Structure 1
Amino acid sequence: MIQRFSISPFDLTVFAVLAICALAVTGLAWRAGGTMGAADDLRFLYLTSDEQGRNHLFISGIAPDGTLIEPRALTDGSDGVWDFATAPGGKTVIYSALSSLGMGDLWALSLDTGQRSQLLACPEASCSNAQYAPDGRLLSYTLRNMSDYSSAFFSPPRLWILDTTTGETGFIFPDSQQLAFEGRWSPDGSRLSYISPDPAGLGVINLADGQTALYPNALGEAGVWHPQKNLLLTTNTWVEGTDYVTHILQIDVESDEVTDLSGETSLTNDSGPSYSPDGGWIAFRRKVLRGEQESRGKQIWIMRSDGSDARPLTADADVDYGTPSWSPDGRYLLTRRFPLLGPDIVPSLWLIDTQTDEVRMILEPADQPMWVKNNE
């Protein structure tokens, strides 16, 4: 069921002031050890852990001949990387540096020079889930304040906006106590989706008039926007016979039309959808519950954006694959592969060629892969 709410124009004053501010994000591709940065290279970011269990950010890539470009570390030091995202144009990466006390600041790093700068200090708090608006003007992020009862990492989340030109910050909602996190911008920047803990669901706020809507969100995953349209992917779970199924839903946020892309009678648990750069295909994770394709872990599948022509790209019953990431040219998928049975339970990165169906490991250990968009 879809719930709608309204916010008065007066309550949006703070956001309106922030929305007129601008950010210019510039840079070029960074050459790693003289091997990174050719115009035809496909670059990607990923995390790997040090001996103390802290995650650090690395960059690598795929050369035109299909070979792996030598990885290069982008971060080091005592603070680990909690999460990261790229700016429009693929020239800058922003990440949350997580301290041992559960607090985190936001940092920006140039993929041209490798230089980094603190974008936002978050004393006595944790700032994470940073996402640039499509034109690079504003940045949404999740803030969790430390309290007398818990560290910042475990505190209630709230969604904020940062003006990266002036450093000013403000709430997205007029009620400063409204909980929300994992903000994601629509392709035209007119809307922002978010995870709502209470009431539970996937929320969407129209930034022009403040109207909000709440949609199903079974797994607590961030919403996934179509690259050119105001279509949003989410998931919902229900009982089908004796099975709990999870399907991918496509929501038209302008008409509220909801389409079950998994197929209404499909006995599957689907999650982690990702649109191809042209919006024509969706890669996703699928666990088939019955039949010949039944598996212990989730496999990587693709389907057309209307749900047709679904087919598997992997078939490893005792392996779980993570959310797939499309290369900018729409040919390759990157995913994390995690064995569910020992003895070597180590996460690794696997490259899938959607044209040839070739699947191969490229890095180990590694996790959370994300392609870097080509310079625009």
Structure 2
Amino acid sequence: MNLSRFDRFVWMILSALLLALVGMALALPLLGLPDPQPGWDEQGIGAYGPLSIQFPRGIDPESAESALSITPSVGGEVKWVGERLLFFPSVPFRQWVTYTLSLREGVQARDGRTLKHGLIWTFTVRSPLLAYLAPSASAEIWVQDLLTGESHALTDTGGRVFDYTVAPDGETLVYSAYNMQKGMDLWQVRRDGTQNRKILDCGADWCLNPAFHPQGTILAYSRRLAPLQEGAQPGVPRVWLLDLSAGTTQPISPDPNISGSEPLWAPRFRRLIMWDGLSGGLRGVDLEAQQTILIPSEMGMNAVWTPDGNALLFTRLIIGETTAYAGVYRYDWDKQTTESVLGGEQSPWDYGVPVFSPDGKWMAVGVREVLGSPARQVWLFRPDGTAGNPILQDAMINFSSFHWNPQGDALALQQITLGSSSSRPQIAVLNIDSRSLRIVAEDATFPQWVP
């Protein structure tokens, strides 16, 4: 076969390209993988993580996971977002500990490249901020650094903030705020007050009660359609889900007979609980198993998940001979059984919803004696309802809205003095070991920690 000059030239080019490709394929393993990059800075990370590492494109996830280790050892769960590894600790990282993250050599990519050397990083846990709403009549979100006592507002809405929630990683907060159409929109702001932006324009609808999924990727919220006429009430609340990456939103259920407000995610799984007023109970939804439950209740959204996400604690009204009071009950999701945890017909005590410590070993509960002062006091109990003891008592002060700090050694709470029309709510922090109480904000409500 005789080849023209042009044909010979084309074959030469193709042969050169082929040789180059073969050379690249042989050389790639020798080049090695670029170093993965940590996703934190000198300020540290939040106590709940996640610990983030950006790997090169094409990484083999199993190879990377097996090469990682943390000292001191911490159990947890690994998730991947593209080539970014996220580690969520099963219990919060400790604030005053320097952790070492090691990555052994030999981590592989799918194209044959390997990490030629080991890497070591260190990280610490930053001090949490305390967020709250103030003043109570026209609220903005404030944060305070308890180490310095400095506080500042994160929002400047003219007092239009209705409620808020904190992202699990502590980097952002999402809040609902009234708009000019008499509805409520959802906004997001960083922990330092920057990048304040609207993430969901709801027009004349009411979008409120935001709640982050534990991994921070999905936001559940309650939505009420705009009133049909001026002065009327908005529509029945229903729970919607907002994908924070895609910006898409949809109702959790298309069934018009299911309502929902104040959604609360389980610490694990893709489960959430909400108050379904149309059905008169607490409705649980498992998004993976496509399963729903309904727990009859007369007390609204008074429920909390156990730390393992397998059960719920909720309050139920008990009708006594002369008065009514609340007891705490445990609902097992898998067994679908209910048992008493605190109180009952033979116990004349009124209990609030328990709040679990970060390690799950204690519950903080608001308790009052039915025939005594109307003020709830602060008690600690074991998760099974035993070993109860009061840690903060004042017959003239009602304590509520308990929130453990990530280290489990302090409790933020809201308090108000009874018997005076001029009383305003205060935010305080209770040291669990010393039982000392520190007032941190006046005329303020709804404390939450920002890890």
TM-score range, shorter chain: 0.7 to 0.9
Whether 2:416 is the aligned partner of 1:330: answer: no
Unaligned runs of 5+ in 1: 1-21, 27-37
1:324 is paired with a residue whose SS is: strand
Please, what TM-score do these two structures have when normalized by structure 2?
A: 0.69
Equivalent pairs, count: 332
Whether 2:239 is the aligned partner of 1:155: answer: no
Return the offset for 1:100: 6.8
1:218 is paired with a residue whose SS is: coil
Alignment RMSD (CA, Å): 2.4
Whether 2:144 is the aligned partner of 1:60: answer: yes
Return the offset for 1:42: 3.0
**As a proportion of its length, which structure holds more helix?**
2
- Whether contact under 8 Å (2:228, 2:234) holds in the other structure is no
Q: Which amino acid aligns with 1:88?
A: P
Match of 1:217 in 2: 297
Distance 1:100-1:217 versus aligned 2 partners, 3 A rule: farther
Match of 1:346 in 2: 424
Moved more, 225-234 or 119-128: 225-234
Distance 1:113-1:100 versus aligned 2 partners, 3 A rule: closer
Distance 1:212-1:206 versus aligned 2 partners, 3 A rule: same
Q: Which amino acid aligns with 1:267?
A: P
Match of 1:201 in 2: 281
Match of 1:269 in 2: 350
Among 221, 227, 232, the residue aligned to 2:312: 232
Give the whole-Å Cα distance in 2 for the aligned partners of 1:351 and 1:102. Answer: 35
Show the 5 A alignment for 1:67-216.
69-78=149-158, 80-99=160-179, 102-112=182-192, 114-149=194-229, 154-176=234-256, 178-216=258-296
Give the whole-Å Cα distance in 2 for the aligned partners of 1:150 and 1:215. Answer: 35
Return the offset for 1:154: 4.2
Could you report, residue by residue, the CA deviation over 1:230-286 in whole angstroms, capped at 9, with x for unpaired residues? 221211002133221201112221112323221333212211321111111111211
1:179 is paired with a residue whose SS is: coil
Could you report, residue by residue, the CA deviation over 1:297-334 in whole angstroms, capped at 9, with x for unpaired residues? 11121111110111122222122111211011001111
Unaligned runs of 5+ in 2: 1-80, 87-123
Whose radius of gyration is greater, 1 or 2?
2
Give the whole-Å Cα distance in 1 for the aligned partners of 2:303 and 2:229. Answer: 30
Return the offset for 1:93: 0.5
Q: Which amino acid aligns with 1:157?
A: P
Match of 1:16 in 2: none
- Whether contact under 8 Å (1:328, 1:372) holds in the other structure is no
Q: Which amino acid aligns with 1:41?
A: S
Could you report, residue by residue, the CA deviation over 1:109-145 in whole angstroms, capped at 9, with x for unpaired residues? 1114622111111011010111111122211111111
Please, what TM-score do these two structures have when normalized by structure 1?
A: 0.82
Match of 1:10 in 2: none
Give the whole-Å Cα distance in 2 for the aligned partners of 1:282 and 1:371. Answer: 17
Give the whole-Å Cα distance in 2 for the aligned partners of 1:343 and 1:325. Answer: 26
Q: Which amino acid aligns with 1:57?
A: I
Whether 2:388 is the aligned partner of 1:306: answer: no
Distance 1:118-1:150 versus aligned 2 partners, 3 A rule: same
Structure number with higher relative contact order (C-alpha < 8 Å, ≥ 6 residues apart): 1
Q: Which amino acid aligns with 2:343?
A: G
Give the whole-Å Cα distance in 2 for the aligned partners of 1:341 and 1:80. Answer: 29
2:149 is paired with a residue whose SS is: strand
Q: Which amino acid aligns with 1:236?
A: R
Among 120, 132, 144, the residue aligned to 1:46: 132
Could you report, residue by residue, the CA deviation over 1:348-372 in whole angstroms, capped at 9, with x for unpaired residues? 1121111121223222121111112
- Whether contact under 8 Å (1:79, 1:99) holds in the other structure is no
Match of 2:445 in 1: 367
Distance 1:54-1:155 versus aligned 2 partners, 3 A rule: farther
Match of 2:393 in 1: 315
Show the 5 A alignment for 1:230-269.
230-264=310-344, 265-269=346-350
Give the whole-Å Cα distance in 1 for the aligned partners of 2:234 and 2:393. Answer: 37
Give the whole-Å Cα distance in 1 for the aligned partners of 2:303 and 2:180. Answer: 29
Distance 1:177-1:273 versus aligned 2 partners, 3 A rule: same
- Whether contact under 8 Å (1:102, 1:153) holds in the other structure is no
Give the whole-Å Cα distance in 2 for the aligned partners of 1:133 and 1:255. Answer: 24
Identity across matched positions, percent: 28
Match of 2:66 in 1: none
Moved more, 334-343 or 217-226: 217-226
